[in-house]
């Protein structure tokens, strides 16, 4: 981490009150400065994701009914088709019918989004989300 630099920001009082409320809900370990740093880091990660030629990482989380016809086989086939981009996966049995799967992927933004779209768009997936992040080397 480099030297800390102070700067000021002007904002509407109502917006600042809402921001302070969010900071307070996050607990005593977070203050305004750390919350602003988190927002800046998040914006930089999103910008890095937009540059599709850079290597990025992310997680694909999905919930599905493993009793759905051939769904597990379809999801497995899709993952095997992208084995070079999938770093790891975790499968959890939530109850007698529902499973949670978390898949860690690495590649260009376009590659990762394509894999996520294919998995999450598979008929029978109840809910899912791609959570992009970065290796952090540019933050």
Q: Say what the pLDDT of residue 83 is.
A: 95
117's tokens: 């779209």
For 110-136, the pLDDT digits (tens) are 899 999 999 999 999 999 999 988 766
50/20: higher pLDDT: 20
Q: Report the candidate in 75, 89, 86, 60 with the shortest Cα–Cα distance to residue 124.
A: 75
Using CA atoms, how far apart are residues 105 and 79, in angstroms rounded to an integer? 10
33's tokens: 């400065």
Q: Is the pLDDT of residue 139 over 60?
A: no
State the pTM of this model.
0.74
Strand (E) or helix (H) holding 77: helix 71-81
Q: Is the pLDDT of residue 4 over 90?
A: no
DSSP one-letter code for 22:
H
Give 125's strand partners.
64
For 39-60, the pLDDT digits (tens) are 888 888 777 777 667 788 999 9
Count of CB atoms situated within 10 Å of the CB of 28: 6
Helix (H, G, I), strand (E, B) or coil at 99: strand
> Is the alpha carbon torsion for 49, 55, 57, 60 positive or negative?
positive
6's tokens: 């102070």
Query: Residues near 64 by Cβ (< 8 Å), separated by ≥ 6?
Result: 71, 75, 98, 99, 101, 124, 125, 126
């Amino acid at each position: 981490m480099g030297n800390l630099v102070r700067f000021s920001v002007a904002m509407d009082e109502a917006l600042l009150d809402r921001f302070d409320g969010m900071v307070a809900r996050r607990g005593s370990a977070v203050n305004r400065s750390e919350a602003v740093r988190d927002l800046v880091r998040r914006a930089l990660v999103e910008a890095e994701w937009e540059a599709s030629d850079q290597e990025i990482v992310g997680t694909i989380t999905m919930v599905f009914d493993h009793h759905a016809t051939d769904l597990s086989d379809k999801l497995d086939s899709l993952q095997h088709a992208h084995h070079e981009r999938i770093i790891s996966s975790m499968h959890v049995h939530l109850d007698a019918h529902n499973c949670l799967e978390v898949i860690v992927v690495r590649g260009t933004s376009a590659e990762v989004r394509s894999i996520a779209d294919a998995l999450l768009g598979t008929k029978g997936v109840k809910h899912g989300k791609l959570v992009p992040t970065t290796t952090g080397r540019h933050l």
